[in-house]
């Protein structure tokens, strides 16, 4: 059995962040609009708000993998959680250093340490590495 590496864990967190972005938006239930839909002229439609385009919703396998990665975060301290998720959402190191008030190399070391904690816990549980997990990728 191959072991989890820091790179495997980082990729899984990035996939989880991307899956979270693909989830449908949360809306308050119970409210509806009774006004009819307006048919706008070409001139009126030109200045209307741009539609928000969302990617296709994630598959159930993607959601399971995201929830699994979210369970891994419980092994980390609160600040480490914020750091890992900021990096998974592809925040720049400058934004991360401003948030944590430290140098770039210090933030990178803390991020590596957090990923190492997760990888160590996964290896101690004996979980299969991502190369051994068969999923419906297509």
Q: Would the pTM of this model clear 0.85, i.e. be above it? A: no
Mean pLDDT across the chain: 87
Split at pLDDT 50, 70, 90, the class of 40 is confident
CB-CB contact of 80 with 8 (8 Å): no
φ and ψ at 12, to 5 degrees? -65, -40
Q: What is the pLDDT of residue 118?
A: 97
Q: What is the pLDDT of residue 1?
A: 55
**Residue 135 reports pLDDT greater than 60:** no
Percent share of the chain, pLDDT over 90? 64
């Amino acid at each position: 059995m191959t072991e989890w590496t820091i790179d495997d864990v980082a990729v899984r967190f990035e996939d989880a962040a991307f899956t979270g972005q693909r989830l449908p938006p949360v809306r308050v239930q119970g409210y509806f609009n009774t006004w009819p839909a307006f048919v706008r002229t070409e001139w009126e439609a030109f200045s209307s708000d741009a539609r928000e385009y969302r990617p296709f919703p994630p598959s159930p396998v993607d959601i399971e993998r995201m929830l699994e990665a979210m369970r891994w975060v419980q092994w980390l301290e609160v600040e480490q959680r914020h750091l890992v998720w900021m990096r998974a959402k592809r925040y720049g190191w400058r934004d991360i250093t401003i948030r944590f008030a430290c140098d770039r190399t210090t933030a990178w070391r803390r991020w590596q340490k957090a990923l190492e904690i997760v990888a160590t816990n996964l290896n101690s549980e004996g979980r299969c590495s991502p190369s051994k997990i068969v999923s419906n990728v297509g």
